[in-house]
Amino acid sequence: MNKKTIDDIDVSGKRVLVRVDFNVPQDEQGQITDDTRIVAALPTVKTLAERGARVILVSHLGRPKGVTPQYTLAPVAQRLSELLGRPVRLLPDCVGPEIQQQVQAMENGEVVLLENVRFHSEEEKNDEEFARQLAALAEIYVNDAFGTAHRAHASTEGVARILPGVAGYLMQKELEYLGSVLESPKRPLIAILGGAKVKDKIRVIENLLTRVDTLIIGGGMAYTFFKARGYEIGQSLLDETSLEFCREVMAKAGDRLLLPQDVVVSSADPFQVGPDACETRVVPVTEIPAEWQGVDIGPETRAKFAEVIRGAGTVVWNGPMGIFEFDRFAEGTRAVAQALADSGAITVIGGGDSAAAVQKLGFAEKMTHVSTGGGASLEFLEGRPLPGVVALQDK
C-alpha cells in the first residue's frame, strides 16, 4: 500500500478529523445489535488519542432525510465510550460556529464524535463548501472508513482535497489484504462468489478470472449459469440479462470454473411461507423440478468445494452459498466457512452478506481478514479506484 498512514505523521496537539464507519445495525429500541465496525476502528482511535491528538470522529448512520432523530449517533457514542474506557462526547452537529467552538476547546487526547454527517444533504453531494466547513475543524484528516471509500462524499473525499489526508489502521489493513489478493497472492488463488445476481458481480468475475487458479460459483448466481447450460432451474433465481455473459465465462474459464453438482431445492419460497413450511430434497443440478426452487448447495458440492479449498494458498470469498438467513438453508455456507477455517490458506472475506454469515455462524475469528466494506470490497476486487483512497497522500 503506497498511501501514508497515521504512523507517518506527527499528531501531538493537533486536531485530527477521522472518518470512521459507524453505520451499525440497531433494533427498534435503538440498541446496537452488532458493534463490529466500532470495534474495528478502536486501534486507530486509541493510537491517535495516546499520541496526544484531539480526535474528532465523523460518520454517517443510515439514510436520513435531513435531521432524523432515529439516526442519531448517540448510541454509538455510548458504546464507543464503553469500549474505550473513557467518555466520548457526542456533539450536536458536525459543522457550524458552535461545533467549531467546542472543537477549539478540546484537550490533547480527548475524543469527540460529531453528529450524523448525513443529516446534511451536502455530504452525499460532495459539496465543496460543506467539505470546507468540515475541514475547518481540523489540521489533519484520517480516513479509516473503508466501507465508504467507494463513495466520493464530502467527508470521504472532499475533505482530503483540503487537508493532508492519511489512512488509519483499518483502512491500511483492508487495502493490504484485498490488495494482496489481486497483486501478490499465495497460490493457488481461489475465489468463491455467491449471492443473488450475476449482474452485480460481472466486473468482479471479469477481473478475477484473469488472476485466479479456480473460480467457485455458488448461491443464487449459480442458477443463471445452469440456465445458460440449458438446464431446467424451476423457480430458482434467474438473471435473464446475464445468460450470454455466463456462457462467455464458462467458455473462457474452462476447468478453472467450479459450479455446484447438486443442490437443495424447496417446494415453496421460504421468504413467503417460512422455512419450516417448505418441503426440501437434494437433487443433481440437471434434475431441478419445474415448480421447485434452489435454496442451497447440496452435500456432494459442499464436499467438493471443501476439498478444493483445502489445497488453496489464498481464498477470497464474497457471497453466501444459499439462503443462510434461515438455519435450514445455511449448511452450504457453513460448510464453506468451516473449510476456510480449517485450511492453512490466507482467507479474505469480502464484506456484506459473507461477513454477516461468518459472524452469524461463529467463524469470523478464524478468518485471516473479514472486510468491513461490502460495496467497497466488491469495487476494489473489480479493480476500480476508490475515491476515498485515491484522495489520500502517497508515501
Within 10 Å of residue 202's Cβ, how many Cβ atoms? 17
Determine the distance from the C-alpha atom of residue 164 to the mean position of all C-alpha atoms in its chain, rounded to a whole number.
26
DSSP line for 234-276:
TTS---GGGHHHHHHHHHHHGGGEE--SEEEEESS-HHHH-GG
Report the alpha-carbon distance of residue 199 to residue 51 in Å, rounded. 46
Active site residue 375: yes
Helix 74-84 to helix 36-50 angle, to the nearest 10 degrees? 60
Instruction: Give me the catalytic one of 4, 15, 19, 37.
Output: 37
Q: Which of 319, 352, 374, 388 is catalytic?
A: 352
Report the C-alpha gap between 306 and 301 in whole angstroms: 8
Catalytic residue selected from 197, 199, 203, 211:
197
Q: Which of 52, 313, 375, 383 is catalytic?
A: 375
- Verify whether residue 352 is a known catalytic residue: yes
- The residue count for the chain: 395
Helix/strand/coil for 94 = coil
Residue 352 neighbours by CB distance under 10 Å: 21
Find out whether 204 and 378 touch, Cβ atoms under 8 Å.
yes
C-alpha to C-alpha distance for 233 and 289, rounded to whole angstroms: 7
Residues acting as catalytic residues: 37, 197, 352, 375
